[in-house]
């Protein structure tokens, strides 16, 4: 696949002498338009190059923050710099801009870090954040992905899917080794917890993605009831655990108010 040159620019002398390395970098990044992650072998095939060359290309893009290694395998996904660039170029009507006041309110109300996430297949993607003012806090993960089943937001979003879609995402042989010892490590456990989350309307990450960190989430919906994403409040377990009931109430209030005011 070649980078498409706009028709009106085809006679511009500048387009007659492309820099091959830049063109290959662009082709590598554009592979993410049709897939959620890329492997070295995929890049080598796309560029018609040796794997060693593809590896250097991917490593250079990762060093610049445009790609990052997938948390559970050897593939690469969009990096934080690429996500931040995409976010900066998004128009003002984007949900991430709309959700910022909600995250700000949650961070002030709870004193902890608030994130907004969406589901990308079986991964939870962090898109926006307002950090806690505490020195010891959950830090921003904007641009990062984690397996959905080890995060509170990911579990909320999975619970909102039709059962058949969850079956598709978690069918066949898969690794359940991600997360801590407290994380979900089999499909039956996952389905039971998703049913519980669906009934109560919120999810808990009880030190499942990272030791010592607790997260509480609820889905964000529009006025038609469609799921847009999820918000999470997360922080050190020693501060979060005694306040779980209060933080659940704050998260539920924030998501209900967002839907009311957006509608």
pLDDT tens-digit readout, 12-56: 444 555 688 888 899 999 888 777 788 999 999 999 989 999 999
Per-residue pLDDT of the chain (263 residues; tens, 9 = 90+): 443 434 333 344 445 556 888 888 999 998 887 777 889 999 999 999 899 999 999 999 988 989 988 767 788 888 878 876 765 554 444 677 789 999 999 999 999 999 999 998 899 999 999 999 999 999 999 989 999 999 999 999 999 998 788 888 888 777 788 899 999 999 899 999 999 999 999 999 999 999 999 999 999 998 888 899 999 999 999 999 999 999 999 999 999 988 766 65
Cβ–Cβ < 8 Å for 63, 40: no
Helix orientation angle between 187-200 and 152-159, rounded to the nearest 10 degrees? 80
Q: Which residues contact 206 (CB under 8 A, 6 or more apart)?
A: 182, 214
Q: Which of 201, 215, 207 is nearest to 255 (CA)?
A: 201
Q: CB neighbours of 63 closer than 8 A, spacing ≥ 6? A: none
According to the model, what pLDDT value does residue 83 have? 72
How much is the pTM? 0.66
Q: Give the C-alpha separation, 190 to 149, whole Å.
A: 7
Cα–Cα distance for residue pair 166/184, rounded to 1 Å:
15
Strands (E), 12-142: 67-69, 76-78, 113-120, 123-130
Residues 231, 116 contacting (CB under 8 angstroms): yes
Conformation bin of residue 138: beta by default, left when phi > 0, alpha when psi is -120 to 50: beta
Sheet strands (E) in 13-139: 67-69, 76-78, 113-120, 123-130
Taken in order 5, 82, 78, 28, the sign of the CA dihedral is positive
């Amino acid at each position: 696949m070649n980078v498409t040159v706009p028709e009106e620019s085809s006679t511009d002398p500048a387009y007659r002498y492309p820099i091959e390395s830049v063109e290959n970098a662009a082709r590598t990044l554009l592979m993410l338009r049709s897939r959620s992650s890329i492997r070295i072998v995929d890049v080598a095939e796309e560029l018609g190059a040796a794997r060693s060359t593809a590896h250097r290309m991917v490593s250079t893009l990762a060093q610049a923050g445009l790609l990052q290694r997938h948390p559970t395998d050897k593939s690469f996904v969009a990096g934080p710099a690429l996500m931040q660039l995409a976010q900066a170029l998004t128009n003002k009507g984007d949900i991430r801009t709309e959700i910022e006041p909600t995250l700000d309110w949650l961070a002030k109300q709870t004193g902890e870090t608030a994130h907004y996430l969406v589901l990308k297949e079986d991964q939870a993607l962090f898109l926006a954040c307002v950090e806690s003012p505490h020195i010891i806090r959950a830090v921003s993960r904007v641009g990062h992905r984690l397996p959905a089943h080890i995060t509170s937001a990911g579990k909320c979003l999975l619970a909102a899917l039709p059962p058949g879609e969850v079956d598709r995402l978690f069918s066949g042989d898969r690794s359940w080794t991600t997360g801590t010892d407290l994380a979900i490590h089999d499909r039956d456990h996952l389905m039971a917890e998703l049913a519980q989350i669906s009934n109560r309307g919120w999810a808990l990450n009880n030190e499942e993605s990272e030791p010592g960190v607790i997260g509480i989430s609820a889905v964000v919906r529009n006025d038609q009831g469609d799921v847009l994403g999820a918000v999470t409040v997360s922080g050190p377990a020693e501060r979060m655990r005694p306040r779980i009931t209060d933080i659940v109430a704050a998260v539920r209030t924030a998501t209900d108010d967002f839907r009311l005011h957006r509608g």
